[in-house]
Amino acid sequence: MSNTVERNAYQQLLEGIADHALFMLDTEGCISMWPKTAQQFYGYDSRGAVGHRLDMLFAEEQGEPPPLEDLLAEAKGGPVEIDNWHDRADGSVFWGTCTLSPLSNGEFDGYAVIVQDTTTRKQYERMLERQNDRLKEFTDILSHDLRNPLNILRGHLNQYKRTGDEKHLAVIDSTTDRMERLVEDLLRVARQGQVVEHPEPTTIGSVLDIASEGTLPVTATLRYDSVPTVMADSDRLVQVFENLLRNSVEHSGDNVIVRVGPLRDGFYVEDDGPGIPDGDRERVFDHGYTTREDGNGYGLSVVRSIVGAHGWDVSVVAADHGGARFEITGIEFVDGE
């Protein structure tokens, strides 16, 4: 069979598979065949892809993929599979499983590439990882936070048995109430960390409307820059916004200005308050951590649990206006948004 006939047959094969992107590279790793399925998959037409190196498709901001030269050299000896973030023409990103296989027509003739969107699998793996992390954290908290009140109970119970002084009963009663509140808080955090198994298309604007009602005082200002639709548990996403908005009010006052807007793979919530010192940013999501005397330190822990249950990430940085900025990333927006 001639090389031209082989390529035509391969082109027909590529056009017949719709749920993957299949295309070809030349011996230097540049795209040489870019069928319609690849165009639909990535959004780049043939003029925007053919002649460009394979790594034009890799999302640099999401982590460093292996050098293309190393991949090509390894793939000459047989199929190579890598998992990394990919760019689409519309600016969105997805987690892709990319397989490179050598082509030969008597001699080395380039590479066949198959790319599958495995974002859903990646997010589910991350959900499970976070759930396991939360389970370990939960057991650590139980062993640590409950030990002190248990010791108090034991001590005062022994004193009551020895002396009969009823003042020890008052301490036992208040300590028991404290333990009950602690267990309720821990269970609430643990439930929010359960994996979201059936997410639905959710508009951030509608969730924000629900969350802001009763959370933001009338003197506060909420500025919303439209965020594309996401796949989420809307009720739990409301809790994310409620906790973030409440955090802004508690630390910035009733006249706080809160901004919500899109990121490339997620959204942000920021305020114009005093911000969070660099040394505290890694700790603000820790269970029980708070800088307020009347705070319980569970609000941002709940945020992290819910975000992790969706397979997303949350981080805190300084806002452009000097306040705190929470960025929730790792989100794949609903197609067409």
Domain positions in the chain are 3-117, 122-329
> What is the CATH number that goes with domain 3-117?
3.30.450.20
For domain 122-329, the CATH architecture is 2-Layer Sandwich (3.30)
**φ/ψ bin of 330: left (φ > 0), alpha (ψ from -120 to 50), beta (otherwise):** left
* Distance in angstroms (rounded) separating the CA atoms of residues 204 and 262: 10
pLDDT digits (tens, 9 = 90+) for 163-221: 999 898 988 898 888 788 777 766 766 666 567 778 899 999 999 999 998 889 999 99
pLDDT digits (tens, 9 = 90+) for 102-160: 998 888 999 999 999 988 888 788 778 877 777 776 676 666 567 768 888 899 899 99
The rounded Cα 321 to chain-centroid distance in angstroms is 24
pTM value > 0.75: no
pLDDT at 182: 72
Q: Evaluate whether 311 touches 303 at the Cβ level (below 8 Å).
A: no
The pLDDT score that the predictor gives to residue 128 is: 80
Please tell me if the domain spanning 3-117 has the same topology as the one spanning 122-329.
no
Measure the N-to-C terminal CA separation of the chain; round to a whole number of Å. 45
